[in-house]
Amino acid sequence: MKTLRQLIESKNKLPVAVSPLESVHRALEVLAMHDIGAVLVLDGERLVGIFSERDYARKVILQGKSSKQTTVAEVMTERVIYVPANATIEECMAIMTEKRIRHLPVIDDSGNLLGVVSIGDVVKETISQQQFIIGELERYITG
């Protein structure tokens, strides 16, 4: 069973982040540039929130705010749900399903941010694990 630390290391990407002081417009540019649905909000190296397309739709557009005049800090989700690096893919999927979220920051034992996993990452890894098991079972049956 692969841990989230192993998944993050295999992604080989640094987490994408913005400052809480940046405009929502800038955060949207970052989302588009990286083709992602959420971005971490870091104050220095400290995780202070997460900003997603959902935050934009509900807290900017529906409230008639301007994305160029509104800071990320005003509309980000401050209570960030995160997971430890030693959590399994299955545990991660259970949290995402229960909390109805699509992005989870991964934190090491010292509280340092290692990266982010998306629901797409989790589903892809689950399918890969299932294909491996099926292959092993087929070899066992035919061998």
Q: Which domains does the chain have, with CATH numbers?
A: 4-142 (3.10.580.10)
Question: What pLDDT, on a 0 to 100 scale, did the predictor assign at position 137?
Answer: 87
CA distance 93 to 128: 14
Single-letter code of the amino acid located at 18 = V
Could you list the pLDDT tens digit for every one of the 143 residues in the chain?
Answer: 677 888 888 876 778 999 999 999 999 999 999 999 999 999 998 999 999 999 999 999 999 999 999 999 999 999 999 999 999 999 999 999 999 999 999 998 888 899 999 999 999 988 888 888 888 888 889 87
Q: What is the dihedral of CA 103, 107, 113, 118, to 10 degrees?
A: -20
Task: Look up the pTM and report it.
Answer: 0.83
Q: What is the pLDDT of residue 26?
A: 97
pLDDT, residue 13, reads 76
Give the side-chain half-sphere CA count within 13 A for 3: 12
